Amino acid sequence: MGSATGGGSGGTLPSLQDVHSTLLAQFPKSSDGSKICKDGPNRTQYLYSDKPRDAAELLFKKFAQGRKPIPMKNGKGFVIKFANGDRVNFRPTSSSDGSPAIDVHISSQGNLYKIHFLENK
Amino acid sequence: MDNMLTLDQVTELSSILNQRLAFIAGPNLSSDLCSDFVIIATADDFLGVQGDVHQGHLEGFSELYSSIETCKVEKEDLEEARKHGNQYFFKKGEIISRIILVRDRVQGFVDGKEAWTYNSDIGIVLKLESGYVAITRLGYHDEMLKVTYLDELSVENLPATTGRFEVDVHSNYSLTRSLISV
């Protein structure tokens, strides 16, 4: 197969599943949805802060673990690629409510976790 | 809800039928063969395949749903792919003798009764002389595409698709994947 360089998947970097678990563990669990919590597969999670865009960018960088975000051709955000088709999308403006959003796709589980960033209530 | 290639896109796809494959490429198509944009280069032409997302409503639930679309290839796209070494010459020179769509039918059930159906084209497969090249969506809700080279084509050996269709004590869903010749 042809030549290739770089890309985002790789090497000794941790898997997306490990990164996801580690990052979610940093947020306290809450039953009212006011903090990020891993409350089951396919649920939308919410993170409230004074500056949602900054919070989203910060968390996206943590997900990246040094990988380079790739802008999407349709201009609707950025993606970080992990091994085995796992990936994290950052959409600065989600089409549902306009808030920044991060989507975490873990192919091995067939699951998608969605995190929306909202202003403090 | 239906989310399939348009007639114009199918016609555009058909334009590469009976041409010789030159290479598969993409500005960001690194060695994992995953990208939101893939270029099919034949001896005579270039065809772009792009993943995109659109807001959709299924049973009152608003969500981003992804689509696979054909598009024009710009000179800059080819140059970027070449510059980064993101060109793949496997099966070069083989004739594209058939084009096949991969279509998913996802049916949602609530308390055992069918509540909704989602039909979506999730991939394009080129039949070559010694096998197949598949370009398929990796998710129902994002742009990422995956290129797979196959000796034999079956729905089982195509990459799985991530989604947000939930299973709980009342709800379930089933997936039927079919291959449709263009």
DSSP B38-74: EEEEESS-EEEEEEEEEEEEETTEEEEEEEEEEEPPP
Measure A11 CA to nearest chain B CA, in Å: 12
What percent of chain A clears pLDDT 90, i.e. is strictly above it?
Answer: 26
d(CA B178, CA B154): 9
- Residue A109 · residue B164 · CB < 8 Å: no
Question: Under 8 Å CB-to-CB from A31, ≥6 apart: which residues?
Answer: none
Positions in chain B whose pLDDT score sits under 50? none
Question: Under 8 Å CB-to-CB from B81, ≥6 apart: which residues?
Answer: B25, B26, B27, B29, B39, B87
Contacts of B161 in chain A (CB under 8 A): 110
How many structural domains compose chain B?
A: 1
d(CA B136, CA B123): 4
Q: Is residue A1 scored above 50 in pLDDT? A: no
Angle of helix A52-64 versus helix A16-25 axis, rounded to 10: 140
Contacts of A82 in chain B (CB under 8 A): none
Q: Is residue A37 scored above 60 in pLDDT? A: no
- Separation of CA B21 from chain center: 18
**What is the pLDDT, as a whole number, of residue A7?**
40
d(CA A33, CA A50): 17
**What is the pLDDT, as a whole number, of residue B52?**
96
pLDDT tens column, A51-66: 889 989 999 999 998 8
**What is the pLDDT, as a whole number, of residue A118?**
85
* CB pair distance less than 8 Å for A42 and B164: yes
**What is the pLDDT, as a whole number, of residue A3?**
38
A14: contact with B, CB 8 A cutoff: no
pLDDT-derived band of residue A10, with 50, 70 and 90 as boundaries?
A: very low
Mean pLDDT of A19-34: 63
Top pLDDT among A11 and B88 is at: B88
Closest CB to B30 among A6, A76, A96: A6
**What is the pLDDT, as a whole number, of residue B161?**
87
| Residue of A87, A94, A99, A106 to mutate when probing chain B, most B C-beta within 10 A | A87
**What is the pLDDT, as a whole number, of residue A112?**
80
Total CB pairs under 8 A between chain A and B:
109
B63: contact with A, CB 8 A cutoff: yes
Measure A63 CA to nearest chain B CA, in Å: 17
CA A58, A63, A67, A68 torsion: positive or negative?
negative
Measure A91 CA to nearest chain B CA, in Å: 11
Measure A29 CA to nearest chain B CA, in Å: 21
ipTM > 0.95, yes or no? no
Task: Report the DSSP beta bridge partners of residue B35.
Answer: B145
Domain range for B106 is 2-181
pLDDT tens column, B80-115: 999 999 999 999 999 999 999 999 999 999 898 998
d(CA A48, CA B77): 39
**What is the pLDDT, as a whole number, of residue B25?**
98
* CB pair distance less than 8 Å for B90 and A4: no
d(CA A46, CA B3): 28
**What is the pLDDT, as a whole number, of residue B118?**
92
Q: pTM above the 0.80 mark? A: yes
pLDDT tens column, A74-108: 999 999 998 888 999 999 988 777 889 999 988 87
The candidate with the shortest Cα–Cα distance to B138, out of B118, B117, B163, B157, is B163
B144: contact with A, CB 8 A cutoff: yes
